[in-house]
Amino acid sequence: MCGIFAISGERETAGNIVLKGLKKLEYRGYDSWGIAIRDAGKISIEKQIGKISGVKKDFGKSTESMGHTRWATHGGVTNENAHPHKFGKITLVHNGIFENFLEVKKEIGAEKFKSETDTEVIAALLDELLETGLEPDEAIREAAKKIVGRFAILVMVEGIPGLFAARRGSPLILGRGKTETFIASDIPAFLEYTNTVNYLDDNEMVYISGGTAIFSNLKTGDPITKRDITVNWKIEEAEKGEFEHFMIKEIFDQKDTIARAINHDDELLKKAVKLLQESNGAYFIACGTAHKVTSAAEYFFAEISGRKINVVPAGEMPSFEKFVNEETALIAISQSGETADVLEILERGKKVGAKILAITNVETSSVARIADVHLPIQAGVEKAVASTKAATAQMALCFLLAYADAENIRPGSINRGREILRSTASSINDLLNPRYAEYVEAIAEKIVDRRNMFIIGRGALYPMALESAIKIQEVSYIHAQGFAAGELKHGPIALIEKRVPCLVLGDDSETISNAMELKARGARIIGIAPTRADVFDEWLRVPDCNGAQAIASIIPVQLLAYHLAILKGLDPDMPRNLAKSVTVK
Ligand code: AGP
């Protein structure tokens, strides 16, 4: 997934504005960056490998510019493969995957290409189509017919002012000004200039020049009108403030975000669960951390409303799509609302009449917009690649939905669910204080040199053991593995060596017995529970949350992962090989 940003207008510092805006999108991809500027009709390009955050450069005078931060899919991290790509009259940036690019590359003549990317092939295809006499918008429409895969592209054409953009499956948003227009993959890039936006939808194209934006259907060319939307994002929410990294800021944001997540009226909650209640079979669809949230939610519904909901990671769902039909409910959970594996399932599910409930952090995302019912988690912009506040907000909302699902059988359940969550939110608010973070940091110092870590949990804490592993893996690069507490003795316990750190989530008697089995083999037990058991070598207290334990228990692990990364001198916000939202399959 990549960051795209462009401006067309009167400001003569277009290149510098794009540089600044791309830095706000760096979390979307940070292998390399590139910027094209148009000055007196001439298009010039600067591109480099590495992160854009530290780049200081004056791009001089230009009123039109576009740029890109890359998360490599096709071709290594090299200057040549960085975007923008220029071919003939075309200069282009791209987010997505051109699945059949090799076939088209061969047709055009592989020897004509400088890079290994699929993107350069799109530029060449457009240039060839222009050569046949097509206008740029016609050429883009023709090229879109040939491209298999999801994409968002921005195109500058030599000799024709303005920029063209088209999307099919990857996000593009316009920021509107009187005499200028911005286009970006995400709003923070232009938020300081305007909060009036238009969303480019799938299979749509737009031509921008100055304050003009002309929208059209990417298949037919028919004109489209777009209404202006005012977004109420606060700039500081998208900034770190006094925190050193977005990850630690967003961990502390959880003092407020859990309470915000459940701030929905009963009618909307009932509408959401009605979609479940009227279905004959339901699937949670998500990826990564969001998938672990759905696994915890499976326990919430089973225990609270007695409903069995299938949980399948989105990438594995094709094997089960034969069971999806007009009676199926698909519950999609996605922070970004742009994860390709999730969107693919929803798009195909919609075609067979499945009903979609979406829980996202971006109300105007593709997942939110395809849904029949959408519940925003209202966690504010989450920029660190490691998802923290979104995960606990998603869990809180799922927990409340399980109580909403029980309302018919036990009137007053929604209020009961709110009470539990409000008390959980306030205990977490107390927990998230600098002393607690320092205590976690002290434990991180004791285990930072370990190459392996194991985490066990039972019930909804089992998916939290899996989520703990993701957090620790993705920011500290330590090999961490989560297990169901009861599963350990059936194989994985062979991995236990002297002093290996094991996080034990929970203090129920069975889990404590499992912890003793680990301790007997020399493991260092770090307990994360409301009470300190004798078996714990270290103890990270969490509040007792009346069934919502999963929400509180992941917080000390988020802090532990963050401090492990810092102690190892790593950047917790932009870990290697990752990107914030994976909009490619
Ligand atoms: C979480 O820490 C990871 N960054 C990753 O697993 C993420 O949860 C996953 O890619 C899903 O993203 P989404 O919630 O935006 O769909």
DSSP letter, residue 392: H
Query: Is there a single domain that holds both residue 532 and residue 475?
Result: yes
**Pocket flag, ligand 1, residue 397 (CB < 6 Å):** no
Query: Is there a single domain that holds both residue 376 and residue 438?
Result: no
Query: Residues 213-217: what's their mean pLDDT?
Result: 98
- The residue annotated as part of the active site, out of 2, 287, 502, 545, is 2
**Pocket flag, ligand 1, residue 581 (CB < 6 Å):** yes
Query: Is there a single domain that holds both residue 248 and residue 200?
Result: no
pLDDT tens digit sequence for 347-373: 999 999 999 999 999 888 899 999 999
Query: How far does CA 252 lie from the centroid of its chain?
Result: 19
Q: How many CB atoms lie within 10 A of CB 76?
A: 13
Rounded to 5°, angle at Cα 84 from 79 and 90: 130
**Which H, E and C letters describe 153-206, residue by residue?**
EEEEECCEEEEEEEEEECCCEEEECCCCEEEECCHHHCCCCCCEEEECCCCEEE
**Pocket flag, ligand 1, residue 341 (CB < 6 Å):** no
* C-alpha distances in Å from residue 411, one per residue of 278, 297, 486: 19, 21, 35
Question: Residue 401 and residue 373: Cα distance in Å, rounded?
Answer: 13
At 168, list the tokens.
């099919």
Point out the domain boundary residue: 231, 251, 276. Answer: 231
In this prediction, residue 547 carries a pLDDT of: 93
Question: Residue 222 and residue 216: Cα distance in Å, rounded?
Answer: 5
Could you identify the atom of ligand 1 that is nearest to the CA of residue 471? 2
Question: Residue 373 and residue 327: Cα distance in Å, rounded?
Answer: 16
Could you identify the atom of ligand 1 that is nearest to the CA of residue 387? 2
SS3 label, residue 174: strand
CATH number for position 584: 3.40.50.10490
Query: Is there a single domain that holds both residue 442 and residue 354?
Result: no
Asked about 580 being catalytic, the answer comes back as yes
In this prediction, residue 583 carries a pLDDT of: 67
* C-alpha distances in Å from residue 379, one per residue of 299, 308, 388, 402: 23, 27, 10, 20
In this prediction, residue 87 carries a pLDDT of: 96
At 407, list the tokens.
């309302």
pLDDT at 157 over 70: yes
Which of 284, 287, 292, 584, when mutated, tests ligand 1's pocket best, judged by the most ligand atoms within 8 Å of its CB? 287
Q: What percent of the chain has pLDDT over 70?
A: 99
Query: Is there a single domain that holds both residue 520 and residue 571?
Result: yes
Query: Is there a single domain that holds both residue 94 and residue 204?
Result: yes
Could you identify the atom of ligand 1 that is nearest to the CA of residue 474? 2
Average pLDDT across the chain, whole number = 94
Q: Within 477-534, where are the H helices?
A: 509-519
In this prediction, residue 186 carries a pLDDT of: 87
Q: Which range of residues forms the domain containing residue 338? A: 239-431
In this prediction, residue 381 carries a pLDDT of: 85
pLDDT at 166 over 90: yes
**Pocket flag, ligand 1, residue 561 (CB < 6 Å):** no
**Pocket flag, ligand 1, residue 335 (CB < 6 Å):** yes
The closest residue, in CA terms, to atom 16 on ligand 1 is 334
Nearest-CA neighbor of 261 among 397, 80, 136?
397
Query: Is there a single domain that holds both residue 56 and residue 188?
Result: yes
E-strand ranges in 50-150 read: 64-70, 85-87, 90-96
Q: How many residues does the chain have?
A: 585
- The residue annotated as part of the active site, out of 23, 24, 89, 580, is 580
Query: Residues 114-135: what's their mean pLDDT?
Result: 95
**Pocket flag, ligand 1, residue 558 (CB < 6 Å):** no
pLDDT at 584 over 70: no
pLDDT tens digit sequence for 46-103: 999 888 888 899 999 999 999 999 877 777 888 888 999 999 999 999 988 889 999 9
In this prediction, residue 350 carries a pLDDT of: 97
pLDDT tens digit sequence for 478-533: 999 999 999 988 988 999 999 999 999 999 999 999 999 999 999 999 999 999 99
Could you identify the atom of ligand 1 that is nearest to the CA of residue 360? 14
CA atoms within 13 A on the CB side of 107: 11
Query: Residues 244-251: what's their mean pLDDT?
Result: 94
E-strand ranges in 423-462 read: 452-457
pLDDT tens digit sequence for 477-489: 999 999 999 998 8
